[in-house]
Amino acid sequence: MQQYLDFALHHWELCLAFILILGLLIGLELRLRLSGLAQVTPQEATLLINREDAVILDIRDQASFEKGHILNAVNIPAHDIEQRIKQLDKYRDKPIIIVHNTSQPPGKTGVILQNNGFLIVKNLTGGINAWQNANLPLVKK
């Protein structure tokens, strides 16, 4: 135990950085869980797409979307969702899966959709990176 205390005293900058990063990760995870959005893995998302005709809502910016996106995804950047929500009206009776960057949590978008009457809104856990890591296909423009 004394070794840990000595390390912490001699390397307080590293310990502080570790505590800050850990706090940020816990805060991000809590924010996602408290947003009320159900989380789905890439495998669960493919089942929803194939069995329930789920709609992929990609909230990344246009440039990121064009570099690679899920087949038939609808691209509405997160900052435009309130102005362009009418584009999603035809999908009200279908599950909506939000795809995002890891730097852009989907919580606010999910809340906006739920407040506008979309009943089944889910988040792709890990976003587009999780989709790629699962070796699932992307379409490039």
Angle between helices 12-34 and 2-10 (to 10 degrees): 100
CB-side neighbour CA atoms (13 Å) of 47: 5
Token readout for 112 is 């906006």
Q: List the pLDDT tens digit at each of the 141 positions of the chain.
A: 889 889 988 999 999 999 999 998 888 777 666 666 788 999 999 999 999 999 999 999 999 999 999 999 999 999 999 999 999 999 999 999 999 987 777 778 988 999 999 989 999 988 999 999 999 999 987
Contact predicate 37/122, CB 8 Å: yes
Determine if the pTM surpasses 0.95: no
Contact predicate 94/53, CB 8 Å: yes
